[in-house]
Structure 1
Amino acid sequence: MSQPPLKAQLVPSRDAVAEGALLARVDYGRETGIDPEDPSRVTVGLPPFGTEQASELLRTPQAVTRGEQDGIGFARSEDLLFARVFIADSQDMQQAAEQAYLRLLRFHTAMGYPALLRIWNFFDRLLEPAVDPTLDRYQAFCAGRQQALEALQIDGSALPAATAIGTATPGFLVYLLAAREPGIQIENPRQVSAYHYPPDYGPKSPTFARATLKPWPARTQLYISGTASIVGHASLHAGKPAAQMDEIINNLGALIDKVRNDHGLALHGPGDLSLLKVYVKREADLPAIRARLTARIGDHPAVLFLHGDVCRKELLVEIEGLYA
């Protein structure tokens, strides 16, 4: 029986042994950056709770080729491309986002993997004022990303599942997964599509799908974007971490129901996902967040709690998921 081209595994960094082909390694700790000796390895400055450092391993049963071109590190298998860019000086967040996206969007297409499946964005001082003081740095990031899309004549609705989280260390890191053939962009029936947000949240809307569904011959996989306590386009339960967790689980449940009903994927709730990453803004909220998650989905075997900032000041927690 054939295997799907991607499997994700969470391990303590000290146990991150390269068993089999590794498409990418993401280390979570106290710095953000790249490994000059390994173009498939990145470090995200989001400390995990309960351990000094944790690693996410993206494995593949296929042979992997690694390399670097014009500052873009990559690893590719027959079916998948991992690519990353790190911009050390991200003071002008709008410019950094535009340049990173121009480079990566041109690169993945030129490499023969035109179908984006998943994008991750991590940068410091997420909600602090941008160079343009009328914007915060997240809004500036959204504006820069949109400029890149417009320059390349890409409709924002074509972008896949994504995450954008604030770190405590300098630099802008963006990495992606792309495939030869497209997946299916999924929207959440409880939420307005991000690219249709009104201008209340910034001059340029965020551009990402709520999830990307990718059918492979061996198995269909689901990549779920960072999901917060947002219904419609409004934040709910300001200052209440447990209530925000409830709303997030409701959002994830609605998304999974849609995927099951529309596409036949045999998932019944967030507890069936292979991996969950929980981004927690305030350490003091961790016990309430952890307890509420366990109460709703049980003791999930693959959950990583990370200390990071979320895209609106009133939002305290965000969850992304993977079924692989």
Structure 2
Amino acid sequence: MVQGCENVRPALRRAPRVSYRWVDPETVLQEAGTLGVFGFGTGAVRSEDPRWLGVDLESFDAPTPLEIWQVDGSVTHGRAGDVQWSRGDGWLFAAITLDEATHGGPRDTAVTAYAQLCDFVASRRECHVQRIWNYLGDINQGDGDVERYKQFCEGRADGMGRFFADGFPAATAIGHHAPAMRLQVYLLACDEPGERVENPRQVSAWQYPRQYGRIAPTFARAMTLPGQDVLAISGTAAVVGHASAHQDDLLAQLDETLVNLESLLVSAGMPAGFDTQSPLKVYVRHPTDAPLVHDFLQRRLPGVPVLALHGDICRSELLVEIDGWRYA
């Protein structure tokens, strides 16, 4: 257990409700219970509110909806150093955006980002991290151990130290194409621990062999949130065991990814399939593939809210990745 982080008596509460909506951010920020609002790409309307985060990933959807997190009860918010945060009903949103130009490249920037976030969360009642998102520029640049993603993984591990000694949260790491080489990390935490979920079809990420870097990626495949049957799903791609599958075959990778998602649902004891209340994000490496991905998901996941974003997957041979939520 993280030092200073104590379990509280379980409360009957709902997990944050996640939705995609076409609305002005200031309008939704005035709604009761708004914990976080996310805009995507250069066209997103900005806000100075700490609950707002402009994500450095362009959307293939026009107009692009906002992603909105809402909880029951009142929400407070503020800033602490480089960290922006909000909290309400036992849940915490925290985010940090750092420019590599002033923090020394992907490794050192990740060290700083994770050290600040972990220090901040450890001081809060909502100290059990459930889910993390990581977005960094040129994620596949460099060969071998100097690849930017592998450097990020080393810095992340150093920055978090022993904070996740009891187990890692669910997570996503995607490369963006914004002009500024910024690292964006944001998270959802709670005052109760969740339950980690692994996929029997895949080697746990932290047990990957040496070929994937000096430090293996540190995340769980999914997390069942406390208090309810809600599954927060990590970035999921066409990985079987620890190996990438179906190189250069987009449709086969999409099909394998859906098999992995269904396997996660079984492991978590969730109902099969996704529905209109289970929003997903799909990250697509090549913009020219976006229409094919859209048609595939419309056919295979009819009615499911899907936000399609231009992002590079952490392995250069992977063309697509999906993360999101499953509400029972």
Fold match by TM threshold 0.5: yes
> Cα deviation per residue 1:215-267 (whole Å; 9 max; x = unaligned)?
31xx321100010110000001111111100000000001101112xxxx4x2
Aligned to 1:107: 120
* Deviation of 1:124 (Å): 0.9
| 111, 134, 137: which one aligns with 1:124 | 137
Q: Which amino acid aligns with 2:117?
A: L
| 234, 237, 258: which one aligns with 1:249 | 258
| 205, 215, 232: which one aligns with 1:204 | 215
Secondary structure of 2:203 counterpart: coil
* Deviation of 1:290 (Å): 2.0
Matched, 1:8 2:21: no
Aligned to 1:189: 200
| 265, 269, 274: which one aligns with 2:273 | 269
**CA 1:32–1:187 in structure 2 vs 1: closer, same or farther (change >3 Å)?**
farther
**CA 1:104–1:32 in structure 2 vs 1: closer, same or farther (change >3 Å)?**
farther
Task: Specify every segment of 5 or more residues in structure 2 that has no aligned partner in the other structure, as ranges.
Answer: 1-11
Further displaced range: 52-61 or 94-103: 52-61
Secondary structure of 1:39 counterpart: coil
| 51, 54, 74: which one aligns with 2:85 | 74
Q: Answer whether contact 1:166 1:309 (CA < 8 A) is retained.
A: yes
Secondary structure of 1:208 counterpart: coil
Mapped to 1, the partners of 2:52 and 2:24 lie a distance apart of 15
Further displaced range: 5-14 or 66-75: 5-14
Aligned to 1:88: 99
Aligned to 1:304: 307
Aligned to 2:292: 288
Q: Which amino acid aligns with 2:33?
A: A
* Deviation of 1:192 (Å): 0.3
Secondary structure of 2:84 counterpart: strand
Further displaced range: 80-89 or 290-299: 290-299
Q: Answer whether contact 1:135 1:202 (CA < 8 A) is retained.
A: no
Cα-Cα RMSD = 2.2
Mapped to 2, the partners of 1:259 and 1:119 lie a distance apart of 19
Q: State the TM-score, normalized to the length of structure 2.
A: 0.88
Q: How high is the sequence identity, in percent, across the aligned residues?
A: 36
Task: Specify every segment of 5 or more residues in structure 1 that has no aligned partner in the other structure, as ranges.
Answer: none
Secondary structure of 2:282 counterpart: strand
Mapped to 2, the partners of 1:186 and 1:125 lie a distance apart of 29
**CA 1:123–1:284 in structure 2 vs 1: closer, same or farther (change >3 Å)?**
same
Q: Answer whether contact 1:257 1:269 (CA < 8 A) is retained.
A: no
Q: Which amino acid aligns with 1:196?
A: Q
Mapped to 1, the partners of 2:240 and 2:68 lie a distance apart of 32
Mapped to 2, the partners of 1:310 and 1:78 lie a distance apart of 34
* Deviation of 1:310 (Å): 0.6
> Cα deviation per residue 1:287-315 (whole Å; 9 max; x = unaligned)?
22222223322232x11111111101110
Secondary structure of 1:304 counterpart: strand
